[in-house]
Amino acid sequence: MKMHNFSAGPAILPATVLEQAADAVRDFDGLGLSILEISHRSPSFTKVLAETESLVRELLDLNDDYGVIFISGGASAEFFLTAMNLLNEDERAGYLDTGTWSTKAIKEAKLFGGVEVLASSKDKNFNYIPKGYPIPQGLKYVHVTSNNTIYGTQIKDWPETDAPLVADMSSDIFSRRLPMEKFGIIYAGAQKNMGPAGVTMVIIRKDLLGTVKRALPSMLDYRVHIEKGSTFNTPPVYPIYVCMLTLRWVKAQGGLEAMEKINEAKAKLLYDEIERNPKFKCTIPDPIDRSLMNVTFVTTEEADTAPFMEAAKAAGVDALKGHRSVGGFRASIYNAMPIESVQVLVDVMKGF
């Protein structure tokens, strides 16, 4: 039976990407060698790195003010790297606390400088995006988690501030258009919306670097990775290659404008059924806060939880279980999720 992969991460990739990725393991670029066994400085991989970066630049319409790097350590390493590279001990950064990942970013940033939590939705188990909170002047940056993978909320209106935004976009990168002029740093672990686990993309406005007084170890210094084009040391070669294939696929879909439309249609299909069907309830009350990537919901009757999970499984719906801190269900419908698979889930809900 074909499985419909609703996993929150590592997550679904386009079927054509998986085929090409498998081919490259056997024979890459006509070399008679696997991509797993070639040098990261070989011409074949140098081409891959260049194309991956150029696709990122094209899709997000980045100018030369920004550096683009592919490093390891996951989004979790960026929690401290962003603060370490940007924030002096006597400076302050603002943080929006919208869930587990934001909370972790706040904890790590406090090791390096002043952290001001601008607003938090912790009071309601992070089921909304705070709005209308004041943002003081003079912050070095404002950190946001654009999409809260666990809770199913997403920022639709970016904070109004003169400070550059530093954004964890691990779970909605390349899912919609972005006003790049607002962003100082965007980072994303690849394994939700752009590739397999093992690589993190970081986009950095270069003028923000070199402003901290502390000494930075080379591996933790963004400037080193930018200068060396992500090859200061051995980068995650294969994950980068699969990211390139995924970005080619995104471009072929029509880029971010088209991706955004498709994602809106998929999310609408599912949220409409949750609203219509009295057996289900969305865990995010305000529609404006609902994520287009991770749709969180529960059954109205607790007793229906297990039977619905069974019914979904029987239809080939995989990984629908909600995160332990929320319970219920979470349907992750990232870029690569076809609308046909969302329809399968909706049909199970209709028939339940």
Ligand X SMILES: *Cc1c(COP(=O)(O)O)cnc(C)c1O
* Active site residues per annotation: 101, 168, 192
Closest separation between CB of residue 351 and ligand X, Å? 31
Q: Which of 46, 76, 161, 231 binds ligand X (CB under 6 A)?
A: 76
Which window, 46-54, 135-143, 167-175, 246-254, contacts ligand X (CB under 6 A)? 167-175
Q: Kindly state the number of chain residues that form the binding site for ligand X, as judged by CB under 6 A.
A: 12
Which window, 123-131, 166-174, 225-233, 301-309, contacts ligand X (CB under 6 A)? 166-174
Q: Which of 149, 193, 230, 296 binds ligand X (CB under 6 A)?
A: 149
Which window, 70-78, 136-144, 229-237, 295-303, contacts ligand X (CB under 6 A)? 70-78
Is 9 among the residues that bind ligand X (CB under 6 A)? yes
Closest separation between CB of residue 14 and ligand X, Å? 19
User: What are the angstrom distances between the C-alpha of 293 and each of 4, 97, 268?
Assistant: 15, 19, 11
Closest separation between CB of residue 11 and ligand X, Å? 10
| Closest CB to ligand X among residues 225, 299 | 225
**Is 168 flagged in the annotation as binding?**
yes
CA dihedral sign of residues 314, 319, 325, 328: negative
Contacts with ligand X, 82-111, as mask; x by CB under 6 A: -------------------x----------
Q: Which of 153, 170, 299, 341 binds ligand X (CB under 6 A)?
A: 170
**Is 120 flagged in the annotation as binding?**
no
Which window, 163-171, 240-248, 298-306, 343-351, contacts ligand X (CB under 6 A)? 163-171
Q: Which of 108, 168, 273, 289 binds ligand X (CB under 6 A)?
A: 168
Per CB under 6 A, residues contacting ligand X are: 9, 74-76, 101, 145, 149, 168, 170-171, 189, 192
Which parts are annotated binding residues for L-glutamate? 41
